[in-house]
Amino acid sequence: MATTTAPDRAARSGFLLELYRSALGKKYLMAVSGLVWLGYVLAHMIGNLKLYQSPEAFNGYAEFLRRLLYPILPESGTLNLLRLVMITALVVHVVSAYQLTQMNRRARPQRYEGPRDYVVADFAARTMRWTGVIVLLFMAYHLSDFLLGWVNPAPAGATLYEKVVASFSSVPIAAFYLVANVALGFHLFHGVWSLFQSMGWNNRRFNHLRRSLAIGFTAVVVGGNLSFPIAVQLGIIA
Ligand code: HEM
């Protein structure tokens, strides 16, 4: 049976450290942490479709999440573990993005002269940093709205469903959600596209499939998300 020796282990941890420090390693980290969030935004949108079913179905779903694996784990225990995973993935994603930008700047200290190659770097790719910042600001507001209730316009003691309806009944808040989710759309589209590149799955023959997947995923998540504030404004969710 093969056994690992101390030099083997040292070589492997040296390799991992080297990989972590390299641009490739950081791209992997961005891809994997991005994938965790892709899963979240899809599941979150599907869960929120319960808004169309009934207030009881939607509030019951939120309660179900809090009691996931209860009583094996305490109430909200599973949810808190998931939150830890999500926060870690978000920190890894943002820090790797920052470090990659710094590495690129060091590699090319002078700014581009003349117009950049806008065919290669399309709109979504060029705006990743800004759409990322908009999504982060959106999340800060969103959590203060629905999770913490700090900025939510509903009266104290309102159910989660009532909080969502109260927020989206306000035209400025609904408009903010629409703008933020369009920014999320550009971020997701380029994110799904680059994920394949970072993981090395970028055979030219499959590029059309890759593009269709990026468009399809973005359309489903953003389409669903945009529909909620619009449905409240139209009185479909009330
Ligand atoms: C219009 C679209 C959206 C609606 C209607 C919505 C609705 C909600 C609601 C009602 C909650 C509170 C859940 C609870 O207390 O159980 C929540 C939490 C949350 N939402 Fe959204 N959301 C939307 C879009 C998004 C997007 C685009 C993101 C991420 C980019 C996001 C990230 C989160 C996060 C991280 C939480 C906290 C979950 C937790 O820790 O329990 N949401 N959302």
Residue 14 lies in a domain: no
The CATH number of the domain holding residue 143 is: 1.20.1300
User: Residue 181: its pLDDT value, please?
Assistant: 98
pLDDT by position in tens, the chain (length 238): 456 677 787 787 888 888 888 889 999 999 999 999 999 999 999 999 999 999 999 999 999 999 999 999 999 999 999 999 999 999 999 999 999 989 988 887 666 555 554 444 588 888 999 999 999 999 999 999 999 999 999 999 999 999 999 999 999 999 999 999 999 999 999 999 999 888 888 788 888 999 999 999 999 999 999 999 999 999 999 9
Atom 11 in ligand 1: which residue has the minimum CA distance? 146
Q: Closest ligand 1 atom to the C-alpha of 138?
A: 30
Considering the domain boundaries, does residue 19 fall inside one? no
> How many folded domains does the chain comprise?
1
Which atom in ligand 1 lies closest to the alpha carbon of residue 226? 1
CA 191 to CA 34: how far, in whole Å?
7
**Structure confidence at residue 188 (pLDDT):** 97
Q: Is residue 5 part of a domain?
A: no
Return the DSSP state at 112: P
Range of the domain at 206: 24-233
Q: What's the pTM?
A: 0.91
The C-alpha angle with vertex 60 and arms to 56 and 62, in degrees rounded to 5, equals: 125
Smallest CA separation from ligand 1 atom 9, residue:
146
Domain-embedded: residue 74 = yes
Q: Please check whether residue 154 is in contact with residue 52, taking contact to mean a CB–CB distance below 8 angstroms.
A: no
In whole angstroms, give the CA distance from residue 110 to residue 101: 14
8 assigned to some structural domain: no
Cis peptide before 172 (omega within 30 of 0): no
In angstroms, rounded to a whole number, what is the distance separating the alpha carbons of residues 104 and 211? 26
Model pLDDT, residue 111 = 60
Please check whether residue 57 lies inside any domain of the structure: yes
